[in-house]
Amino acid sequence: MKAHIDNAIITIVDDQSPEEIAMVQALNSRSSGGYLVNHAKVLKQGFENFMKGTYVGYGHKSIGDCGTTTICADGISMLCAKAIQDWFLYSGQETSTRFIDVSGLGFIDPVNTAASQAIMNAWFDFYLNENKSLIVHLKKLRPLREGEDEGKYEKTIEKRALDVLRSFLPAGAKTNASWHTNLRQAADHLALMNYHPADEIRIVAKKMLAGLVGKYPNSFSHKSYPETERYREEIMSKHNYFNPDSFSNFSFAVNFLKRDIIDEFCWAIENRPEKTELPKIVNEAGSFTFDFLLDFGSYRDWQRHRSALQRMPLLTEKFGFGQWYLNQMPNDMKVRATTLIKKQVTAVEKLGVSEETRQYYLAMGFQVPCRSTVSISDIVYIVELRSDTTVHPTVREKAHKIYDVVNAQIPGLIKYANLTKDDFDLKRADQDITQRESV
C-alpha cells in the first residue's frame, strides 16, 4: 500500500481538559485510529475510569505527562515560591522584585509576635524610605549621557534602585507565583513538598493538592504507602537544604570532559550563530559543578535555570551581606544600612526559632551557598544569557567567572558572552510587560 508523503493530518488541540487530552493521547499506544477516532472514543466512554484505573491504578505515569494545568499561588512568601520552583521541570512565573515595588503585598510572619513584626517592619521601612535618596545618588554615579533618551534613563535608574533595595526585603515578603505543570509532575513534586521543613510550605502544598484532587479526582487518587511516606519525610528533613559550614566564594570541578566528543561537534560549536543554542546532544561531552556565594535575591534568578541541577540553600547570615548592594549607596545610607543589618541579625537571633523559620526574617541581600551542576550546552546558554548587561550585576559577575573557567577548558565554546564591564543599560526600560490600551 502506497501513501503520498503529504498525507499527515495535523490537529492543534487546546480546548480539552487535562484528563481528557491525556486519555486521547494514551489511546495512541493501543489504537491505530489517530486523534479524531480516539477523541470520539473518549467522548463516548468518558475519561474518569480510565485515568483512575490506567494512570493511577496501574502506574502508567507517562499518561499524566500528557495533561497540563496551571496553579496560581498568590500571597506566598519568597521562600515558598522558591520551594515551588525547586523542581527540575518547573515552568511558571513570579513577581519580579527588580521591576516592582512589592512592599504593598505585605509579608508572612510565622512567629507573629510584636518582636517578629518589628523585624519585618524595619526591613520594609528601609526599603521604602531610602528609595528617593538612592535615586539621587545613582544619578550622580551615572549621569544622563548626550543622545540618551531621558525617559528611558529615568526608568532605568528607578529599576537600578529596586535592584539595590530589594536586598533589604525579608525572605518572608509576599510574592505571587504560577506553576504550569503536567499532572504527573504536580503529583510527584507535591508528594515531597508535603514534608517540607517549613510550615507555610507544607500548608501551601496541601492546599495545592486539595485543589487538584477537587478538580481532577481521578488523576490524584494515588494510593499511599507508609514506607514511601516515611522515606519522603526523611529525605526532606535531611537533604532539602544545602547548608555547609564553610564555603568558597567561587570554585569549580570538572566532572568529566570527553575531548573526542567535543571534536566531533567542532563544526556545530564553531558555526553556531548568535542567539542560537547548541544542541542538547553536546551535553554528552561533559559537565561542571560550580560552587559560589550569591545573595539570596539573585539566587532567585539563578535558580530559574532548570537545566542545571541546583541545590536549595538555607538562608542564614553566616556568609555575610552582599557587598555590591552596600557599594551602590552614598556613605550616610551605607552607615544606616550596616547598622540596621547588625541590629536585625541580633533581633532575629532573639526570636529563638528554628533555622527554617529564621529565614523569613533575614533580608535577601545575605549571601547563600550555591551549587550548580551543569552540562556543556546548558553552560553556554546560561552564561550567554546571564552575562547580558540587563542582568542583575551580582548574577552577571558569576556568569563572567564561569565563562573564564569554561573558556580555559574549551576555548571558543561560549562565543557570545557579553564581557563588558559597564552594566547600566537603557534596554532595561523596555523590559516591562504592560497592558496596552486599545486605540
Q: How do residues 282-292 score in pLDDT, each as one tens digit?
A: 999 999 999 99
Q: How far is C-alpha 140 from the geometric centre of its chain's CA atoms?
A: 33
Q: Among residues of the chain, what percentage have pLDDT more than 90?
A: 76
Report pLDDT digits (tens) over 337-386. Answer: 999 999 999 999 999 999 999 999 999 999 999 999 999 999 999 999 99
Phi, psi of 265 (to 5 degrees): -100, 20
Q: What is the average per-residue pLDDT within 81-99?
A: 93
What angle is formed at CA 255 by the lines to CA 249 and CA 260, rounded to 5 degrees?
135
Neighbours of 336 (CB within 10 A): 15
Residues linked to residue 170 through DSSP beta bridges, in sequence order: 363
- Predicted TM-score (pTM) of this structure: 0.90
pLDDT at position 60: 65
pLDDT at position 439: 35
CB 351 within 8 A of CB 360: no
Average pLDDT of every residue of the chain: 91
Lowest mean pLDDT, pick from 28-32, 90-94, 132-136, 408-412: 28-32
| Residue 52 exposed, middle or buried by CB count within 10 Å (0-12, 13-18, 19+) | middle
Phi, psi of 72 (to 5 degrees): -110, 130
